[in-house]
Amino acid sequence: MKIDAAENVCKIVVAGASGRMGQALIRVIDELPNTTLVGAIEREGSKAIGKDAGELAGTGTNDIIITDDIEHALINADAIVDFTTPETSVAFSKIAAKHKLVHVIGTTGCSQEQDAEIAKAGATARVVKSGNMSLGVNLLSVLVKQAAKALGDDWDIEVLEMHHKHKVDAPSGTAFLLGQAAADGRDIDLHENSVRSRDGHTGARETGSIGFATLRGGSVIGDHTVMLSGEGEQIELSHSARDRSIFARGAVKAAIWAKPQIPGFYSMFDVLGLKKD
């Protein structure tokens, strides 16, 4: 049930409104108190343009028509929630900075240069970006960091992930989030110590490296396991996503949290009050 005090409502625009995550976001916004959908955006030429966002998401007619006119969609907005593409997220970050909005980004596959561009928006916008918006994964990353810190580099670390066959980036943003947690625990640079592919005669595993393995198939929403292997023993820390709404709920929670914050570049650690150390 929505509340009537408009100043307490977070007015949200969903980017990529016709996609799987976009529709999940629209459903969550419809369910949660203190949130309302004020705009729905799709890329130019999308077949969804002109359709009712609520009807498309299965919540019933809500009179929010999907558009490619970003400026018009943002007229009454507090926040834009964005699970799109790296290039699109960079473009949205500049618009969010211009309008001093909240920009919640669940997009994965961004390069270091694109992340740097997005971070600049934090000068005037409230940007929340994470490779995964779920509470469980962010808690898992804290545990991974603690485990990596506690165990010596004679313990091998491998990050295994599986997603549905339509996912276009690999390894996943969540895999990198977990790999970064392991690297932070060991106080090493992930990019200099990660192994993302193995083929042929690779030789022995390099001590202290962090390996990534990627699987794709079916309709798997997201399974992640961090394996820490020592001599004669192995620890596995895992998370399995069973419903895409967990990411949508986390993203909407991030938008609500960020609305009263000062401009800056934040993560889900900030939103959830989780300490990185």
Active site residues: 163, 167
Secondary structure (DSSP) of 226-245? EEEEETTEEEEEEEEE--TH
Tokens coding 230: 């020592």
40: Cβ contacts below 8 Å, ≥ 6 apart: 13, 14, 17, 22, 26, 53, 64, 65, 66, 67, 73
Q: Yes or no: say if 13 and 81 are a contact pair by the CB < 8 Å rule.
A: yes
Of 243, 182, 246, nearest to 212 (Cα)?
A: 182
